[in-house]
């Protein structure tokens, strides 16, 4: 990955669009990629995505679609149709538990909708095992199975903890996208996340994108917190 800045995705896990806007302004010139997840999307809908696109930001829409194939395909098409100035979302998530048919339907819908509307097709990534889950037996095996499912369905990659990132990179090659949440810079609280990692460790293990919520969103100085993470990413890229 060459665009270091875009390796950091800040999760706009806040209650209102106004709060999200304040955060985006506070991070102006530092962070250019933001995640809109179920909290903000439920509160403010596609308006949150349109706002970010208008501001020239990249949007990761993390709604973890999991439903019957037809419904998920329609939801993916709807997500891609949220556009501003010829740009749409850069990435969105689907749940591996939806199965192969659902994932294939999503991949097909994404290609069709992007082509029909003339936007770049977003990356489609699959949730393997949530980073808040620690008790499942044999997580690495489950993660690899779900990576294989994603690849088989023609998707771009997965969301996985850095604990599995090195294994995924080895098995699925350099073009398979790995997105890692559960990032905790030294000294920050884990919250409900169990399989946490530092920004540097995630990069060294082979993650392409790091998703960071509370360590930035709840920091007394979000800009300083983001800068510190970016510095760590930079150092790790130099050494890995």
The window from 75-83, 135-143, 210-218, 224-232 that contacts ligand C5P (CB under 6 A) reads 210-218
Query: Minimum distance between the CB of residue 202 and ligand C5P, rounded to whole angstroms?
Result: 12
Strands 58-65, 123-127: pairing kind: unpaired
Query: Minimum distance between the CB of residue 196 and ligand C5P, rounded to whole angstroms?
Result: 8
Q: Any contact of residue 199 with ligand C5P (CB under 6 A)? A: no
Q: Any contact of residue 211 with ligand C5P (CB under 6 A)? A: yes
Query: Minimum distance between the CB of residue 2 and ligand C5P, rounded to whole angstroms?
Result: 24
The window from 53-61, 100-108, 125-133, 147-155 that contacts ligand C5P (CB under 6 A) reads 125-133
Distances from the Cα of 97 to the Cα of 59, 132, 151, 162, angstroms:
24, 16, 14, 20
Q: Kindly write out the interface string for residues 18-47 of this chain, putting x where it contacts ligand C5P by CB under 6 A and - elsewhere.
A: -------------------x----------
Contacts (CB under 6 A) with ligand C5P, residues 61-80 = 62
The window from 75-83, 99-107, 165-173, 206-214 that contacts ligand C5P (CB under 6 A) reads 206-214
Q: Any contact of residue 159 with ligand C5P (CB under 6 A)? A: yes
Q: Is 234 among the residues known to form the active site?
A: no
Q: Any contact of residue 212 with ligand C5P (CB under 6 A)? A: yes
Query: Minimum distance between the CB of residue 35 and ligand C5P, rounded to whole angstroms?
Result: 6
Query: Minimum distance between the CB of residue 135 and ligand C5P, rounded to whole angstroms?
Result: 15
The answer to whether 150 and 157 are in contact (CB under 8 A) is yes
Q: Any contact of residue 131 with ligand C5P (CB under 6 A)? A: yes
DSSP the chain: ---GGGGEEEE---SSHHHHHHHHHHTTTT--EEEEEHHHHHHHTHHHHHHHHHTT-EEEEEEEE-S-HHHHHHHHHHHHT--BTTB--SEEEEEGGG-HHHHHHHHHHHHHHHHHHTPPPPEEEEE-S-TT---STTHHHHHHHHHHHHHHTT--EEE--HHHHHHHHHHH-TTSEEEE--B--TT---TT-SS-B-HHHHHHHT-SEEEE-HHHHTSSSHHHHHHHHHHHHHHHHHH-
Q: Which residues contact ligand C5P by CB under 6 A? A: 11, 13, 37, 62, 127, 130-131, 159, 181-182, 191, 193, 211-215
């Amino acid at each position: 990955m060459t665009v270091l800045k875009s390796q950091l995705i800040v999760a706009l896990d806040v209650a209102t669009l106004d709060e999200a806007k304040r955060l985006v302004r506070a991070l102006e010139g530092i962070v250019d990629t933001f995640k809109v997840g179920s909290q903000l999307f439920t509160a403010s809908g596609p308006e949150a995505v349109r706002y970010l696109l208008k501001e020239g930001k990249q949007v990761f829409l993390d709604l973890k679609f999991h439903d019957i194939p037809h419904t998920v395909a329609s939801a993916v098409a709807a997500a891609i149709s949220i556009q501003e100035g010829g740009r749409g979302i850069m990435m969105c998530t689907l749940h591996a538990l939806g199965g192969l048919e659902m994932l294939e339907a999503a991949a097909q819908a994404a290609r069709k909708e992007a082509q029909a509307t003339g936007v770049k097709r977003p990356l489609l990534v699959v949730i393997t095992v949530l980073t808040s889950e620690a008790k499942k037996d044999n997580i690495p095996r489950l993660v690899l199975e779900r990576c294989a499912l994603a690849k088989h369905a023609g998707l771009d990659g997965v969301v996985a903890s850095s604990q599995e990132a090195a294994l995924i990179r080895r098995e699925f090659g350099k073009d398979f996208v790995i997105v890692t949440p559960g990032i905790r810079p030294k000294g920050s609280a884990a919250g409900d996340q169990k399989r946490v990692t530092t920004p540097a460790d995630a990069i060294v293990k082979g993650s392409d994108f790091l998703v960071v919520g509370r360590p930035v969103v709840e920091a007394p100085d979000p800009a300083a917190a983001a800068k510190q993470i970016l510095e760590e990413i930079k150092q790790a890229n130099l050494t890995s």
